[in-house]
Structure 1
């Protein structure tokens, strides 16, 4: 199983819109083939810093998602609102 952690720092004015957007896309991501779970976390003290943690059956499943229209369209809405470059890690669950 592959765990994908993505750290995102947003312009503070985008936070409410991001919450709405993620609420809309979360079930779509969760239902994407190979996705086992996805969750959104907000930093305790830095309110503009968010993390997604998703679990995937395989790296190929994650890559298929990253090439999908769902990801491409969502990322196009999110990326312009970053306050810093997103960071991501793919980890193997032991």
Structure 2
């Protein structure tokens, strides 16, 4: 997600307010927020869901729709999203 600089603080406040609710969604095992090191306008969320159905249920929830409605007005570029399958993990 790429934000207008003037909206970054508003986004961070909203994320702080909503992150616990998002993480509490059924099937959400992990939720992280990253900021690009070279372009501070770019952020990534990373979430891990037990099943694809859990993610789809979240995407159709009132929580997501409310968060998305507030977030998308802050963008300065089209947001991108990926759903991926884990192929390897080293810990």
Calculate the TM-score normalised by the size of structure 1.
0.90
Report the equivalent of 1:45.
Answer: 38
Match of 2:3 in 1: 10
Please point out which of 68, 73, 79 is paired with 1:80: 73
RMSD over aligned Cα, in angstroms?
A: 0.6
Partner residue, 2:24 = 31
Q: In the alignment, what sits opposite 1:62? A: 55
Offset at residue 9 of structure 1 (A) = 0.1
SS for the counterpart of 2:2 is strand
2:80 & 2:46 partners in 1: Cα distance? 12
Distance (Å, rounded) in 1 between the aligned partners of 2:54 and 2:26: 7
Q: Deviations over 1:65-89 (max 9, x none)?
A: 0000000000000101110000000
The structure with more strand, counted as a fraction of residues: 1
Bigger Rg, which one? 2
For 1:33-83, what per-residue CA distance to the aligned partner results, in whole angstroms no more than 9, with x for missing partners? 010010000000100000000000011000000000000000000101110
Unaligned stretches of 5+ in structure 1? 1-7
Question: What is the DSSP-based 3-state SS (H/G/I as helix, E as strand, rest coil) of the residue aligned with 1:55?
Answer: strand
